[in-house]
Structure 1
């Protein structure tokens, strides 16, 4: 068989035509022999050398079998019924079946196939393919050390690097992630800085899959959970834009600048709705605006983060928290360190702000409810992270140690209720498992040498993306122990949150009790001085001055000492009730009920988990925090002498409530 290969090339690719012509030979160089130079050489016998500078060629033959093709017709009848029989008509089907069953060929075919069918049925009944051979054997759990490894690194492709301010995962699987890039330092952006943000393919870190071109750098970017082609972004100039990746890199629609935020739109969130087109945003200008991407000419609703709904006094917000199961409620973290719980559908403007939680001394950069316990939420700000309960507004129920580096972002694990993540300014990522350890993180990773600014965990809990100040987004894969739920983990976390909530309620009741007693004594001394002063005006003035001087002499050290003594007496009483390893949680609680005590034991992990210290790493820090709460509670109120204050017995909870009730009329009287 002859193999022929036809090489086809366009005439335009041949180049210019070559015109050759003949000419006479020319001498370019003529070097005469030099006798003096000949003395420096030795005549050598002639050597024949052959050189071939032609490319070696080879010829190969290949003989393959020819694939024969043919056209054949297939007759297919839908459902096995003839064309004139409608399978949905019962009468036609019944009549046709009777006709077929009378046919002799049908009877012989059934008898022939019945033997093999009967064998298969008996075999199927004899063997249970779902049988468990080892039912009593417990599955072995391998306790591997918590770890994480870097899978990919996505770098900002521009020469002038920008901060990766926000990350959003593709809703239909861990295939893509959208990253918003923006330089947040005030007046530090040069005219040559790019405003683009990108969508990256997880398996291709070399080049972004899609480029988003906003009119102003994006501060935040979120995928629509109902339509994975649509993304919502908040711009640095306060505008809100959305993209449809099927329509290109330009935004489909923008909000008007006069209707948008006056500061950068730090957070945008999609709302759970039937249409999947509603969203809302917030900014440090103190506004919360609701939008519908079908009509972005003006916001559908507006709210100010102020109790009286005054724009001049509104608190600027950095983050939003929205739970789809509570469609009218949301939470914001403000620049002042407050966490504001809001109700969009409140009847009056005063009811729109339902509660305020105060605990951070710096801006709250991240806020998220626990996916498994929506009553508890995590806040990130200043140098620590705090876990709150909606039942207690005065203080958080748990908090991390005070870091030496500022915290920038954090979130819960979507799979494990006891695991949350933190990013810091020193470039490290901390993984906390509050069941395993409460005083230190379970895992600390040095992701990079520059500050980390953003963090996002994929829905399956296995992949974590962290964005840094130099525009690098690092993709990490966690070990199995950090994304696989442990046995009985939900019950343990529930018990922990309930225990800490009860403890904070007890401490708050103690402090309130002390404040009411001090107020009652102060008002009693004032009333007595007033009765004496009614007889002598001059004496009344002297007594008032004396009372003011005594009030000024009230030392803060007495308040600290009293709060510290009160707190440690509670701790000692709790430690005496610690269960032994042989005791069960239910036995301890029954024992507490029999004793009639409201305070619960401190350690619930003695029967299988390491003993948990107090919520903070150091008891002195707790005492200091409690003393500060007591001090802040006393400030601005009229008080008596600290030496006359009586300590409240820690075990007499019921009597303390009775005394508080008795003091209330005296307060009203004063």
Structure 2
């Protein structure tokens, strides 16, 4: 499958595509490990073949030097190429000091040298690298939200977010459905994990800050896409409807603050314009008859590339209305995000107040504890409570229907008896 896409930073003609088989232990024996750089004006033959010792899961152009690409391998290694030297990798990370699982995401950092990057994997680590010295990572962080630095308790990383205008912060989307917000410059490893955002039932395949409003970010996981605000951790401020098909990737438009795109397992690309409508996508396009797994927009927002399960990459051109900023769009989008954040804060405060009242009624002899950490129920308790209520509703409905059937039977029997009496009386 086409697992990752990256546009050439200095032009709109070249597209690097990583190919891998992500089905555990189902890769064919004769599987091709190559990935390719394509010229979109010559789609029949790749411009350059990138050789690798293991299939590539992620691949990124260096924004400071477009001849350099870095890739994350299925076996956990990091590798890089210099296209001036051909398609053979210049250097590989030492496998003993690399990730233990596939490298789902690798991102270049905005360093002075332009040689630094960082990566994440489902092994529960974030590793920082300098391609001038690939023998070992320059820094590492274990994604243990208990802040004990225990790799056995770490959450697996699936997606990464780094905004160059906020160089000390980054975000990790995990396979457990949680986003971890981190600060690289914190003094201790425990302090580097700042906070978490929970809202998905499955792996978070994409997390990306809005290019116009960096405190608002987009996530995709399970059957829904969510928009969050850093100012509010309890829940997302906006979300799409639940789809019948799993969502696999998402990205903001680089030119319109209210537009984002998502790909789905049914082969559909959805374009959402929240200024136009919020209940349904503005445009829904069936790209192919197989699952789409990746997408990437050009910097001008005009072209979008989608990668599918079979390795097919489809290039689409958006209409001018979807890639041209509208009048007052920034101001309207700002007002919308702030309004929704405020609304969610009010709702959460109200829910917290109701929970405290319920708790005080259930425990009249105990003092009310207004601390948030004690007022909040754990996710497990909430799920268990929801399951219990669901089954109670089902059971109540079943009993109600049984009583209705019984009542109808009794009424039918009474009617038959009364009819028999009438017949006898007439006789």
Partner of 2:29: 191
Partner of 2:119: 281
Partner of 1:632: 382
> Is 2:55 the partner of 1:305?
no
Summarize the Cα distance change of 1:633–1:468 in structure 2 as closer, same or farther, 3 Å threshold.
closer
Summarize the Cα distance change of 1:631–1:514 in structure 2 as closer, same or farther, 3 Å threshold.
farther
Summarize the Cα distance change of 1:491–1:296 in structure 2 as closer, same or farther, 3 Å threshold.
same
Partner of 1:519: 359
Q: Deviations over 1:483-524 (max 9, x none)?
A: 000000001000100000000000111111122223334443
The counterpart of 1:492, out of the listed 316, 319, 332, is 332
Mapping for residues 455-604 of structure 1, pairs under 5 Å: 455-525=295-365
Between the aligned partners of 2:358 and 2:184, the Cα distance in structure 1 is 40
TM-score w.r.t. the length of structure 1 is: 0.55
Partner of 1:314: 154
Which of structures 1 and 2 has the bigger CA Rg? 1
Deviation at 1:628, TM superposition (A): 12
User: Structure 1, unaligned stretches of length 5 or more?
Assistant: 1-162, 528-626, 636-670
Q: Which has the higher strand share?
A: 2
Partner of 2:287: 447
The counterpart of 1:366, out of the listed 195, 206, 220, is 206
In the alignment of these two chains, the number of paired residues is 374
Partner of 1:386: 226
Mapping for residues 18-417 of structure 1, pairs under 5 Å: 163-306=1-144, 307-417=147-257
Contact 2:360 2:366 in 1 (8 A): no
TM-score w.r.t. the length of structure 2 is: 0.85
Between the aligned partners of 1:212 and 1:452, the Cα distance in structure 2 is 22
Deviation at 1:399, TM superposition (A): 0.3
Between the aligned partners of 2:383 and 2:267, the Cα distance in structure 1 is 38
Summarize the Cα distance change of 1:628–1:350 in structure 2 as closer, same or farther, 3 Å threshold.
closer
The counterpart of 2:271, out of the listed 426, 431, 446, is 431
SS at match of 2:311: coil
User: Structure 2, unaligned stretches of length 5 or more?
Assistant: 368-376, 386-427
Between the aligned partners of 1:492 and 1:278, the Cα distance in structure 2 is 37
Contact 2:18 2:35 in 1 (8 A): yes
Q: Deviations over 1:111-130 (max 9, x none)?
A: xxxxxxxxxxxxxxxxxxxx
Summarize the Cα distance change of 1:628–1:406 in structure 2 as closer, same or farther, 3 Å threshold.
farther
RMSD between aligned residues: 1.8
Between the aligned partners of 1:396 and 1:630, the Cα distance in structure 2 is 19
Deviation at 1:188, TM superposition (A): 1.3
SS at match of 1:524: coil
SS at match of 2:365: helix
Q: Deviations over 1:543-594 (max 9, x none)?
A: xxxxxxxxxxxxxxxxxxxxxxxxxxxxxxxxxxxxxxxxxxxxxxxxxxxx
SS at match of 1:273: coil
SS at match of 2:336: helix
Contact 1:464 1:475 in 2 (8 A): yes
Between the aligned partners of 1:467 and 1:453, the Cα distance in structure 2 is 6
Deviation at 1:229, TM superposition (A): 0.2
Summarize the Cα distance change of 1:218–1:240 in structure 2 as closer, same or farther, 3 Å threshold.
same
Give 4+ residue runs of structure 1 displaced > 6 Å after superposition: 627-631
Between the aligned partners of 1:630 and 1:217, the Cα distance in structure 2 is 37
Deviation at 1:350, TM superposition (A): 2.3
Deviation at 1:191, TM superposition (A): 2.2
Deviation at 1:296, TM superposition (A): 0.7
